[in-house]
A and B are shown apart, each in its own frame.
Chain A
């Protein structure tokens, strides 16, 4: 399948990790720039205007969400994909709520990462099993909320997330639920939107811990 070449900026404070990613990514992904801190990353991304920024959740001077918050208003076309070893739910939820299109762990395989970059560039959401687990946690419980449209997951969305958490890929989920791959993607995007816009207590608490609100 022929895919357009994606221009990517890699932001991570570990040189070793950056070198590893650089050598692993497939021929359809070109690393056009690298940065090791928020201070370096912000002007670099604004200048290069890449398709996708692979963004470490933890950076020495403010973290991935600081980069998103400073870049996104001026470069709305740039998409962010969070990449981390972090296990803390509030870090991950924080960077997603700042505007990242998804979250993958650093143990991801090279081909999956390449796939995730393309999916991010296409404007789709990228959910790793771990993120799916966090989201299920965050939307757990059916408490009455002010905005059920945003504050609750539909049964179908929950089903999709559960399959992602079980390690299924989108295509496998589509086959299992007798849906088109496109429909699965739109469910995941809907969940991402809820994650970013919902005022559910659980989510605002997490975001507050990362001083986003």
Chain B
């Protein structure tokens, strides 16, 4: 990770000398092309700078050294360093020429050199750490020179600390940023490890146990199916918690729990589909108990290996359907002593103001429809 080169916060713009419209070395034309201005303007700038103690000439030489010929590889490391020295020298000359006091120019030059080294460490072929130390030393030297030369009261005393702070930020910023990022990556890795451990624990506690149980009783298909089904339900609840909001305390949760119980007891698949949910109160609780009875009947008597349950609920109206594709029966012919239907289903629903309807005919399966209209008052 640390071998990755530091991204330059301030990269050298990719300027090259220009073949087209060159007068001397194509420096001005190249810069103009890059900046998309007229080459005359650039030439004029260099010319004017020449009046400032010849800074223009030095700057031109520096640029010539720095900029590669058109289409050529970037210039070598030594040429680059030499070029920077020339450019900084030009800047010093220019600032002198413009009438700035030496006490301000030299610190600025030192700080500028520091910044350039810090920003261009990679293109100078310096190790980032060496470059940073070098930059810090140059900037500090600038500060020392500045403080040594300036008498109190000068307006620039106010600016200087700010400039130093900004410079230090530019030099040390990328380094601090990378440090922070490494720390983040470390934390993410730690969280990942924790998650992996939790997953391993979960798989061990549930899936592996179930597989062991299945291997012990391979000849009892019903038991195997029940175990597999229970495992599936557990894993699902864990993997997709959002689709199983059904915690205790809501109607949907209670229906799920009842279905799971019936599966365990009778070894029949109970497939629950639901839309919406409602709070669990006396009325909806009665509905769950009636539904549970209907599921139990379907599992015990129908001979079907799957029971479908559909819960359609909102705050005002609840409907629940239990359907099997088993043998079916004639509802009218059921003896009154079969308390399952009469008492546990119909009676329960009617006591809380709901209805139960049983649709069945021999050979066609059975459907029990339970409904709770809006609560009175």
A interface with B by C-beta (< 8 Å)? 85-89, 107, 129-130, 132-133, 136-137, 140, 162, 165-168
Contact = CB atoms under 8 A, between A and B. Distances in A.
A130 B325 CA distance: 17
B126 interface: no
B242 A140 contact: no
A129 B308 contact: yes
Interface stretch (B129-137, B192-200, B272-280, B286-294): B272-280
28 contacts: A85-B232, A87-B239, A87-B240, A87-B244, A88-B239, A88-B240, A88-B242, A107-B269, A107-B271, A129-B273, A129-B310, A130-B271, A132-B273, A133-B274, A133-B310, A136-B312, A137-B275, A140-B275, A140-B276, A165-B310, A165-B312, A166-B308, A166-B321, A166-B323, A167-B271, A167-B310, A167-B323, A167-B325
B312 A89 contact: no
B339 interface: no
Contacts of A137: 275-276
Which of A85, A133, A166 lies at the interface centre, i.e. has the most chain B CB atoms within 10 A of its CB? A166
A165 B271 contact: no
Contacts of A168: 323
Contact of A167 (B243, B308, B314): B308
A166 B322 CA distance: 8
Nearest to A162: B312
Given A137-B276, A165-B310, 11 more contacts: A85-B232, A86-B240, A129-B271, A129-B273, A129-B308, A130-B271, A132-B273, A137-B275, A166-B321, A166-B367, A167-B321
A162 B242 CA distance: 22
Interface in B234-285: 236, 239-240, 242-244, 269, 271, 273-276
B326 to A, nearest CB: 12
B304 to A, nearest CB: 10
B310 A166 contact: yes
B377 to A, nearest CB: 25
A130 B243 CA distance: 12
A140 B315 CA distance: 13
Contacts of B275: 133, 136-137, 140, 165
Contacts of A87: 236, 239-240, 243-244
Nearest to B275: A136
A167 B325 CA distance: 9
A152 to B, nearest CB: 15
Interface in B85-123: none
Which of A87, A107, A136, A168 lies at the interface centre, i.e. has the most chain B CB atoms within 10 A of its CB? A87
Contacts of B242: 88-89
Contact of A162 (B232, B243, B310, B323): B310
